[in-house]
Structure 1
Amino acid sequence: MKLLHIDSSVLGLHSVSRQVSAAIADRLAKANPGLKTTYRDLTATPLAHLSGSHLAVAQGAAPDAALQPDLAAGSAVLEEFLAADIVVIGAPMYNFTIPSQLKAWIDRILVAGKTFKYGDKGAEGLAGSKRVIVAISRGGFYGADMPTAAGEHLETYLRWVFGFIGVTNLEFIAADGIMMGPELREKAVASALQAATDLHAA
């Protein structure tokens, strides 16, 4: 069994999403002897954002030599995702949505013919066999009953993205309100870490 662990926070050791994603990966590793883990830090080794040149190559154009290393990097992250049985993602909310470096990664794994395809009935996801667990951290509170709910484009976006490629075994562990004061931050982190510890391992 293979685990792909992705982090996207720019905060390093101060990151809540990194702390929680690490706890999730540790829980799964301890519960599944022999689990092979691949770790990718999207901040330490960022992917380039898609450009017109990338899309031209996708449509069959010959790649420019300068683009070759980036195309190889994109192929590598796609293969990592395809090979994984479980994907753990650390995803903080930045300005109401995902970090741009995580978006760059998503753009490399949402590939027609690989993770989804189009047919007579529209798009069909091809990655439905995977389990995806996302550790999210948010500075405030964005529940459905909150006046801020309309500004939540982190969890809602990721639910749509992974649903689009067929993932139905999708879980979120959230640390909310981490910028609302020390007490709320401590409580949110403790709750998220406990949820990671209690995570169903299989």
Structure 2
Amino acid sequence: MAQLLKIQTSLFQNSGQSSQLADAFAATWLEKNPGARVITRDLAAEPIPHLDQDRFQAFTTPAEERTAEQKAVADFSQELIDEIKASDVLVLGIPMYNFSVPSTLSTYFDHIARAGISFRYTAEGPEGLLKGKKAVVFITRGGVYGEEHAQSAYVRQFLGFIGIHDVEIIHAEGLALNDESKQQALDSAREQIAQVA
């Protein structure tokens, strides 16, 4: 069964523009993939704990030597990675906060970037291990910053680091400028959904 993993990061949860675009894509994808399923992870509703020294040590401690607390931490991280492994498509709804991604998404990335599990180091450099997947990213911004902004580059670089190189980023910018700019940006993004899905 085909599976889509939808990751929402807007602090407005389902009401956020990025979440609504991700929802629209998921609905269109389901229409084209009867019998498939969508899993949603809302990082605003259920934030991932920030990475601290104890959590990092849980990741690096050999499995057979972990305490019960460390095992719970590592198991939760593995659950997040397994969601990606089991999915054919990832859809991320990402607003711009202070010129970057929401901190909840950065924390999520911290938990799925695991040496030997989601990537490995080789003589030729790092190799992502979560291959064969497509990612569709909706980035919403109040202002206009362009497709080459560092926020977009960061998301693309991280996904590539874990092995996801088929990445489509759809920007909806100028949402805070005026009603006309907002409507045009959202309409353009929705038009692209039909093409990409």
- TM-score above 0.5, yes or no: yes
1:133 corresponding residue in structure 2 = 136
TM-score by length of 1: 0.88
1:115 corresponding residue in structure 2 = 118
3-state SS in 2 of match to 1:43: coil
For structure 2, the 5+ residue unaligned runs are none
1:165 corresponding residue in structure 2 = 162
For 1:182 and 1:64, the matched residues in 2 are separated by: 53
Asked if 2 retains the 8 angstrom alpha-carbon contact of 1:137 and 1:176, the reply is: yes
2:45 corresponding residue in structure 1 = 44
- In structure 2, the CA distance between the partners of 1:56 and 1:133, relative to structure 1 (3 Å rule), is same
Q: CA deviation at 1:185?
A: 0.8
For 1:120 and 1:70, the matched residues in 2 are separated by: 30
What CA deviation, in whole Å up to 9, does each residue of 1:20-78 have, x standing for no partner?
Answer: 1011111111101111211111111111010000111122163463x665544322211
For 1:196 and 1:20, the matched residues in 2 are separated by: 8
1:99 corresponding residue in structure 2 = 102
Asked if 2 retains the 8 angstrom alpha-carbon contact of 1:53 and 1:63, the reply is: no
For 2:184 and 2:158, the matched residues in 1 are separated by: 29
For structure 1, the 5+ residue unaligned runs are none
Q: Tell me the percent identity.
A: 33
Q: CA deviation at 1:187?
A: 1.0
3-state SS in 2 of match to 1:140: coil
TM-score by length of 2: 0.90
1:88 to 64, 87, 91: 91
For 1:97 and 1:137, the matched residues in 2 are separated by: 11
1:1-202 paired onto structure 2 within 5 Å = 1-60=2-61, 62-63=66-67, 65=69, 69-143=72-146, 152-199=149-196, 201=197
For 1:173 and 1:82, the matched residues in 2 are separated by: 23
AA matched with 2:4 = L
3-state SS in 1 of match to 2:97: coil
What CA deviation, in whole Å up to 9, does each residue of 1:93-117 have, x standing for no partner?
Answer: 1001100111111111111112211
**How many residues end up aligned between the 2 structures?**
193
